Amino acid sequence: MTDAYRLQADTPLHDLDPAQWDALAGDHPTLRHGYFSALHDTACASPKTGWTPFFLTLHRDTTLAGVVPLYLKMHSRGEYVFDQGWADAYARHGLRYYPKLLAAVPFTPVPGPRLLAEDDAARGLLAQGLVTLARQIKVSSLHVLFGADADMAALHQAGCLLRQGIQFHWRNAGYAGFEDFLGQFRHDKRKKLRQDRKKVFGQGIRFRHLEGAAIGPREREFFYACYRNTYLAHGNLPYLNPEFFEQLQASQPGALMMVLAEKDGEPLACALNLQSADTLYGRYWGATTYVPGLHFETCYLQAIEYCIRRGLTRFEGGAQGEHKMARGLMPTPTWSAHWLADARFTAAVDDFLQHETAAVNEYLDDLARHTPLRREDDQAG
């Protein structure tokens, strides 16, 4: 490392200048200083919940040239890249897997930069610094989740293994309106979409799109009840508390967009999305009443309508779910990087990842064969 740069681990978040941090993060809502502050200040991401902050920073003289949101993790919950099988293998061999080092946005499977850097040189120093740090503090492993392509290249160069995943994203092809978007579907798929929408709207359900300050305490309270119900229905407690959402709205009011489903003026369901200048990120959903098709309309089709109206270029629908293809969200690769201290496990995981990557690519090919979208040689209809 050159004399001008200085790496430091375990840097407290509130010791870092928010303006310098945000200059590295850009307008990505889940990467800004305020997002992490909301997670930490409300104790959602804290040592008590298994997320011990251990941020890695890179300074060039007095300027923040890079930062990695880094945590010591005592479990694998809230990550959405599943390594519990690796932890079990360590335990079977009498080895300790936790704590591990994790570079991620807690509870947030949204792809984007994880090595927030001013340039490629700084990014490379952060990648090397992560591996060096993992060795120095003698953790079992290092994991960087949902990183950008540039992150993955730097981490691979630093000795990490890469792991491929899949999410489903929608891209705006310059649609003039929602009907123009529907025109990209094959006739039978388009017909089914219209029928599903008709069933929802035919019950008198209407939708409002609320942004920023228009999301008041009443709407926020209803949203949280829905969000909590979604977790309780699966036997889990929610990761995030009401205070987190209140602080997030205060720090980034323009980043929030809520889809509110109502019948006779009373709310039934809602989806809370985040947005940047060009992208909408689907994040949370819930309902107080089950209505067939309401989930897909609220979470996906209303979001796409909003994107078309606002001229946003992309909608990221969140983790998992090939059912999203029927609503126009197409499979998109995601990536994570992994380094393991034990050479024996490195070899075993490398072999596992090669087989997993082949299976993922085969799955992508299969999805492409079953696309609901019209091909160039399809007849109009």
Domain CATH for 66: 3.40.630.30
Contact 198, 332 (CB under 8 A): no
- Once rounded to an integer, what is the mean pLDDT over residues 252-272? 97
What is the per-residue pLDDT for 204? 97
- Once rounded to an integer, what is the mean pLDDT over residues 234-261? 96
- Does any domain span residue 317? no
Residues 52 and 123 grouped into a single domain: yes
Residues 45 and 161 grouped into a single domain: yes
Mean pLDDT of the residues in the chain? 95
Residues 308 and 181 grouped into a single domain: yes
Residue range 72-97, pLDDT digits in tens: 999 999 999 999 999 999 999 999 99
Q: Where does the pLDDT of residue 376 fall: very low under 50, low under 70, confident under 90, or very high at 90 and above?
A: low
Residues 155 and 12 grouped into a single domain: yes
Residue range 109-126, pLDDT digits in tens: 999 999 999 999 999 999
What is the per-residue pLDDT for 380? 45
* pLDDT at 293 exceeding the cut of 80: yes
- Does any domain span residue 374? no
What is the per-residue pLDDT for 255? 97
- Once rounded to an integer, what is the mean pLDDT over residues 34-48? 98
- Does any domain span residue 381? no
* pLDDT at 379 exceeding the cut of 50: no
CA-CA distance, 309 to 178, in Å (whole number)? 9
- Does any domain span residue 376? no
* pLDDT at 381 exceeding the cut of 60: no
Residues 149 and 177 grouped into a single domain: no
Q: Where does the pLDDT of residue 322 fall: very low under 50, low under 70, confident under 90, or very high at 90 and above?
A: confident
Q: Which of 313, 304, 312 is nearest to 179 (CA)?
A: 304
- Once rounded to an integer, what is the mean pLDDT over residues 18-39? 98
CA-CA distance, 176 to 309, in Å (whole number)? 8
Residues 184 and 156 grouped into a single domain: no
User: Which range of residues forms the domain containing residue 44?
Assistant: 5-166+332-368
